[in-house]
Amino acid sequence: MNDILPDEVVRWQRLEAAFRRHAELQGYAEVRTPIIEQTALFRRQVGETTDIVEKEMYSFERHGDDLTVRPEGTAGAARAYVEHQLAAKEPVSRWYYLGPMFRGERPAKGRYRQFYQAGCELYGDAGPLSDAEIIDLVCGLFRDIGVGEFVVHVNSLGSGGTRDRYRDALLAHFEPRKDKLSDDSQRRLFKNPLRILDSKDPRDREAAAGAPSILDVLDDADRAHWQGLLGYLDALGVPYVADPSLVRGLDYYTRTLFEVKTKAADLGSQNTLCGGGRYDNMIKSLGGPDVPAIGFALGLERLLLSMPDTARKAGPGAVILPLAPEGAKKGLVLARDLRALGVVAELDGRGGKLKTMLARAEKRGAAMCVILGEEVQRGTVAVKDLAARVQDEIPLESAARIIADRLGQPRAVPRPPAQPGDPQTPGPAGEARGPR
């Protein structure tokens, strides 16, 4: 579990804002659900024989409830969708979320025990068109934030009858090889042979060679959905590969399954930036109506490791240096007036020599210093532009307005920092400049 210090948070905020923007452009709205849910929710939806449920959940008992700190966001969102009867209120719901998830995994670069996911969930549309659009949402975001080369792996797990037929075909393949499988896979063989395809264990990998492909057993409706999806991905120019070995570590998926992997970053085996798929049975299994759904989650830490490192924390617009005895009171008021005009203003009340104070302001990355020395008695302050290295004296009375104008500030409310993808910014490579 990591601390994320203010210097790093700048990049997080940019990524989060870009994600929100792309999701909102496709009509998604944010949902916030509790971080703790009933353990049974994850057991049933994520699946008893998954790694997450078998060994990674942070679960505890309190006040007679069996609770779990959420390992993923889809089950909680679906629970809320059913509980608040969204299906009766609107035919299609598009939700997104952002927040921490918790899995007791073995930590590695790009794999943590508390990590952040941003995800989208689309309820109420079964067609492959929505699958293609949601995949394209992720690709658009990745291009915008400057993720290097990436590729979308897609597969279909089929639905209902297809899944059962595939399970039988897999059993027939693995049963004669049972002794060669890892302990986990031997245990899961009869309960959930699909999980073996997801195993990283070299013994399981070897045994899986030549296993039947699910794409060979899709029924007509599943095949039409699958081919429809590939056609739409082609139309959108999405860089994809059909990958029948893709299974993913959660049991709830039906039909479309996808992962977006980066080719560029040195994330090793943690190169999956995003995972998602269709889960057409979950809403019904939670006691809701028969509503199809599709969603994805992306890992923010891994994305940050794959993004160009251009965002910098913007320094304050003005640092105020009260030197004269009456400078402190005037400085307090000036700082407040500057902030009211949208200028980030900091007071340096630590005293010392002017040279030292100027050096400190420069180190903070300030654009300007306002010196309140003996000139205050004349009703003026000295303003030093730290980039241009020029200094002049201006009337104290109108100092806030003049400084705000020089910094190019709006006159009323502060503006949020420019975000990657904003039309007026040069894109991910542009230098970060918050309000000053």
Residues in contact with ligand AMP by the rule CB under 6 A: 72, 103, 105, 110-112, 115, 117, 249, 272-275, 297-299, 301-302
> What is d(CA 272, CA 257) in angstroms, rounded to the nearest whole number?
13
**Minimum distance, C-beta of residue 300 to ligand AMP, in the bound complex (Å):** 8
Q: Which is closer to ligand AMP, CB of 105 or CB of 144?
A: 105
**DSSP secondary structure string, 75-117?**
HHHHHHHHHTTHHHH-S-EEEEEEEEEE--PPPBTTB-SEEEE
**DSSP secondary structure string, 175-238?**
GGGGGGS-HHHHHHTTT-THHHHT---HHHHHHHTTPPPGGGT--HHHHHHHHHHHHHHHHHT-
Tell me the residue type at 330.
K
**Minimum distance, C-beta of residue 233 to ligand AMP, in the bound complex (Å):** 19
**Minimum distance, C-beta of residue 5 to ligand AMP, in the bound complex (Å):** 18
Q: Which is closer to ligand AMP, CB of 273 or CB of 323?
A: 273
**Minimum distance, C-beta of residue 17 to ligand AMP, in the bound complex (Å):** 19
**Minimum distance, C-beta of residue 182 to ligand AMP, in the bound complex (Å):** 20
**Minimum distance, C-beta of residue 35 to ligand AMP, in the bound complex (Å):** 15
**Minimum distance, C-beta of residue 229 to ligand AMP, in the bound complex (Å):** 19
Q: Which is closer to ligand AMP, CB of 277 or CB of 331?
A: 277
Task: Please choose, from the candidates 2, 4, 134, 16, the residue with its C-alpha nearest in 3D space to the C-alpha of residue 417.
Answer: 16
**Minimum distance, C-beta of residue 71 to ligand AMP, in the bound complex (Å):** 8
Start-to-end CA span in the chain (Å):
33
Q: Which is closer to ligand AMP, CB of 275 or CB of 322?
A: 275
Q: For 237-386, where are the alpha helices, taking DSSP H only?
A: 282-285, 300-306, 327-340, 354-363
User: Looking up tokens 């889809």, which residue turns up?
Assistant: 74
Q: Which is closer to ligand AMP, CB of 246 or CB of 297?
A: 297
Partners of 114 in beta bridges: 102
> What is d(CA 222, CA 156) in angstroms, rounded to the nearest whole number?
8
Q: Which is closer to ligand AMP, CB of 125 or CB of 259?
A: 259
Question: What interhelical angle do 220-236 and 128-145 show, nearest 10?
Answer: 30
Q: Which is closer to ligand AMP, CB of 28 or CB of 252?
A: 252
Q: Which is closer to ligand AMP, CB of 54 or CB of 422?
A: 54
> What is d(CA 128, CA 133) in angstroms, rounded to the nearest whole number?
9
For residue 51, what is the DSSP state? H
Q: Which is closer to ligand AMP, CB of 295 or CB of 417?
A: 295
**Minimum distance, C-beta of residue 103 to ligand AMP, in the bound complex (Å):** 5
**Cα distances (angstroms) measured from residue 96 to each of 91, 213, 345:** 17, 33, 35
Q: Please, are residues 141 and 19 in contact by the beta-carbon 8 Å criterion?
A: yes
> What is d(CA 121, CA 379) in angstroms, rounded to the nearest whole number?
60
**Minimum distance, C-beta of residue 304 to ligand AMP, in the bound complex (Å):** 11
> What is d(CA 361, CA 306) in angstroms, rounded to the nearest whole number?
32
Residue with the closest Cβ to ligand AMP?
A: 299
**Minimum distance, C-beta of residue 301 to ligand AMP, in the bound complex (Å):** 5
> What is d(CA 300, CA 19) in angstroms, rounded to the nearest whole number?
10
**Residue 264: both structure tokens together:** 């560029």
Q: Which is closer to ligand AMP, CB of 119 or CB of 316?
A: 119
CA 166 distance to own-chain centroid: 33
Three-state SS at 295? strand
Q: Which is closer to ligand AMP, CB of 52 or CB of 361?
A: 52
CA 42 distance to own-chain centroid: 21
